Amino acid sequence: MTVLFSGLSIDKAKSAFYNVWKTKNPDLVEDLEQQDAQFVDDHRPDLIKRVTAVMPIADVMRAGNIIVSETYSKIQANATNMDKMRELLVALNSDKAKSALYTLLKDQQNFLVEELERKEVLENEPPSKHAKVQEQVQTIKQKIEEKQITRWNRSSKRHGTKLKDLLKETNIEIVGNLYFYKDEKYMISPGGSGAQVYIGLSEDGIEVAIKLITKNPKNNKDIENELNHLQDLRLESPYIVRYVNFVVGKDFYYLANRLCEYDLVDYMDDLRLQEQKHKDNALGKIVKEMLLGLQVLHRAGVIHRDIKPRNVLIDVEKRARLADFGISRKLEEGKTTVYTVRAGTRGWEATEILNQTEKSRYKKSSDIQVAGMLTYYILSDGKHPFGDDICCEVNIFKGEYSLDDVRDKEATDLVEWMINKDADKRPTVDKVLDHPYFWDDKSKDAVLRKLGDRPEIQNYETLARLRNLYIQKEHTEETDPTATLTIYEAFSELKIENEKRKRDIIAIVGEDLKKLWTLFKTAKEATEGKTFSNWKLQLSEIWTDINKKLPEDVLGLLRVLRNKLVHGNVRNEFEENNIFGLFPDFFISLHRVAKDLDWDY
């Protein structure tokens, strides 16, 4: 019974009361333990399959000497929750131990216990003695609970005053281990789907945002789905809202997350009052952190399905966290698509979702398109790429957008890639985070060196001579090179005698020269109309010793910049002359070439 009341934070007075109660009711205590044990035995298969909080339960049991360290180690050694639970159940060989497990399950996964108990009722079983005993215990607990908060781990700056006022309230509501006051003063926001969100505290003093969701058979699955995702250890991340507790009440579900300072909409309002440079840096940081949160979800096989400004929260450290998994779905192993009824928020849905009538096909790429919309929203100070009026959904469906409110070329290139109407042409979140928009000068330096060391770039001048020779011989991509000039005859005409260089060039272009034409065609397409298309003239004003024999394209420029970095020791000149800023679309083109040619960097 000591474990039974462990969730109450009992002080000395409460503890004395319990001891007296147990002394006067030994039969009730023993009876309750037997009933708890019976529940565990009856539902053993369900517990093995569905309990996810095995290690937190085992932690408490070891601390309470219910299981020994050797047993704990055996549990921990298992790879899956099911195997861990099997090991734990084997170790529980007394009614008292099983009763402790039942109590911890009520604390850790109350919704599961209630579901299994409801199942007993639906199967026409009479009300168990166990239920009656639990009711008596609950009555006693409620009578001795003091409606006051004794601990507060201060963190929030924005909500600090309200939390201080909350401590003074005399009519605080206590649900499970959550303390709050259902008053408009303490409401943070109306929440998604009409749910109300209040600031509050957990019993151990953690500041929380408590979302009240009206119980309804239609949303039970959504709520349990959200809980399961938040409990999943793989979703523990500084970029995902931190789950605290979930309580099932009579009329509401109570979902408690760590309290954050703002949602994205309110935070952007606050940033508008700050200097432009600070504001731009903060917004760029939010974009990256939002996408890092999405990366955590996608790597765990979870599709969010409701990405929007209100579902990005900003914590006290000004870090962005993705929130609200109420309509998210976890992909089965090996699957890439989930079929479900339409969900999401109008204006924040992917093209393929608007294209469905009944069942919608959600993929990770659907999240990517909406995350691209949100990226633009953040960087444009609140604009939507598909428009803010009633035509927004029509524009999403047609793929008609405007990116005029963002001047950064790397940012607009990223957004354009993400919001592509064709889901198959959108990048994965890993590729999104590898886009040049997120490269700082150090990263750009590293990419220049890595790609600049490729044999194609090291031999680029020679490859250009080889290509020009074949053009003079009227050879094209479609013709057979042996009909005009074999690769070995070309080496002779170009006076290339070094055997290693010959082998390197053949490895690059192949004897049929297909890769040679692909290389220069890709470089040409990535150069046309770009700021660096006449880079020789622009760089001649800075460096007089550049190799002007190189082709004036993106890869020729790569060769020059790589050589300057490696051999010229002129890193300070890069900064003084703003070389990276001189050609704002160079890294976009270089990234595209590397992607098209499947070059790793």
Query: The domain that contains 24 carries what CATH number?
Result: 1.10.533
Whether residues 369 and 484 fall in one domain: no
3-state class of 196 per DSSP? strand
Q: What are 544-564's pLDDT values in tens digits?
A: 888 989 999 999 999 999 998
Amino acid at 156: S
Mean pLDDT computed over 584-589: 96
Question: Cα–Cα distance between 253 and 53 in angstroms, integer?
Answer: 19
Cα–Cα distances (Å) from 185 to 119, 191, 261, in that order, read: 40, 15, 16
Amino acid at 345: T
Cα–Cα distances (Å) from 152 to 66, 160, 200, in that order, read: 30, 11, 10
pLDDT given for residue 3 in this prediction: 37
Q: Which residues make beta-bridge pairs with 339?
A: 361
Whether residues 417 and 550 fall in one domain: no
- Asked, for residue 153, whether it belongs to a domain, the answer is no
- Asked, for residue 551, whether it belongs to a domain, the answer is yes
CA atoms within 13 A on the CB side of 212: 22
Q: What are 216-257's pLDDT values in tens digits?
A: 777 677 766 766 666 665 577 899 998 888 888 888 888 899
- Asked, for residue 150, whether it belongs to a domain, the answer is no
Whether residues 445 and 503 fall in one domain: yes
Query: Is 374's pLDDT higher than 80?
Result: yes
CATH number at residue 414: 1.10.510.10
Confidence label for 427 from pLDDT (cuts 50, 70 and 90): very high
Contacts (Cβ under 8 Å, ≥6 apart) of 403: 376, 385, 412, 415, 416
Whether residues 91 and 220 fall in one domain: no
Of the three residues 217, 236, 258, the one that is the final residue of a domain is 258
Question: Cα–Cα distance between 157 and 406 in angstroms, integer?
Answer: 32
Whether residues 202 and 299 fall in one domain: no
Q: Which of 120-124, 172-176, 254-258, 436-440 has the lowest mean pLDDT?
A: 120-124
Q: Which of 4-13, 403-412, 439-448 has the lowest mean pLDDT?
A: 4-13
451 and 563 Cβ atoms separated by less than 8 Å: no
Mean pLDDT computed over 514-519: 92
- Asked, for residue 198, whether it belongs to a domain, the answer is yes
Of the three residues 222, 237, 258, the one that is the final residue of a domain is 258
pLDDT given for residue 139 in this prediction: 54
Confidence label for 191 from pLDDT (cuts 50, 70 and 90): low
- Asked, for residue 131, whether it belongs to a domain, the answer is yes
453 and 562 Cβ atoms separated by less than 8 Å: yes
Question: Cα–Cα distance between 1 and 103 in angstroms, integer?
Answer: 9
565 and 445 Cβ atoms separated by less than 8 Å: yes
pLDDT given for residue 74 in this prediction: 92
3-state class of 468 per DSSP? helix
- Which H or E run includes 38? helix 26-42
Q: What are 295-326's pLDDT values in tens digits?
A: 999 998 888 888 999 999 999 999 999 998 65
Whether residues 415 and 450 fall in one domain: no
Q: Which of 20-24, 178-182, 259-263, 281-285 has the lowest mean pLDDT?
A: 20-24
Q: Which domain holds residue 30?
A: 3-144
Whether residues 219 and 267 fall in one domain: no
Whether residues 247 and 319 fall in one domain: no
Give which of 598, 496, 593, 580 is closest to 551, Cα–Cα: 593
Contacts (Cβ under 8 Å, ≥6 apart) of 344: 305, 306, 308, 327, 353, 370
Query: Is 409's pLDDT higher than 60?
Result: yes
- Asked, for residue 601, whether it belongs to a domain, the answer is no
3-state class of 80 per DSSP? coil
Confidence label for 456 from pLDDT (cuts 50, 70 and 90): very high
Give which of 383, 369, 354 is closest to 294, Cα–Cα: 369
- Asked, for residue 149, whether it belongs to a domain, the answer is no
pLDDT given for residue 389 in this prediction: 76
Place of tokens 């931190």: 242
pLDDT given for residue 123 in this prediction: 60
Percent of the chain with pLDDT over 90: 51
Whether residues 371 and 346 fall in one domain: yes
- Considering 165-169, 234-238, 437-441, the range whose residues carry the highest mean pLDDT is 437-441
Q: Is the dihedral of CA 454, 458, 460, 466 positive or negative?
A: negative
Q: Give first-to-last CA distance, the chain, whole Å.
A: 60
435 and 371 Cβ atoms separated by less than 8 Å: no
Confidence label for 200 from pLDDT (cuts 50, 70 and 90): very high
Q: What is the DSSP string of 261-323?
A: SEEHHHHHHHHTTS-HHHHHHHHHHHHHHHHHHHHHHHHTTEE-----GGGEEE-TTS-EEE-
Place of tokens 């604390």: 107
**pTM of the shown model:** 0.70
Mean pLDDT computed over 361-377: 94
pLDDT given for residue 122 in this prediction: 62
Whether residues 378 and 471 fall in one domain: no
Whether residues 137 and 63 fall in one domain: yes
Whether residues 210 and 339 fall in one domain: no
Query: Is 281's pLDDT higher than 80?
Result: yes
pLDDT given for residue 476 in this prediction: 77
Give which of 462, 474, 449 is closest to 558, Cα–Cα: 449
Confidence label for 331 from pLDDT (cuts 50, 70 and 90): very low
Amino acid at 512: D
- Which H or E run includes 506? helix 499-509
Of the three residues 405, 438, 471, the one that is the final residue of a domain is 438
3-state class of 113 per DSSP? helix
CATH number at residue 176: 3.30.200.20
Per-chain mean pLDDT for the chain: 84
Structural domains counted in the chain: 4
pLDDT given for residue 343 in this prediction: 52
- Asked, for residue 189, whether it belongs to a domain, the answer is yes
Confidence label for 481 from pLDDT (cuts 50, 70 and 90): confident
Mean pLDDT computed over 98-112: 88
Secondary structure of the chain: what % helix, strand, coil (to 5)? Answer: 55, 10, 35
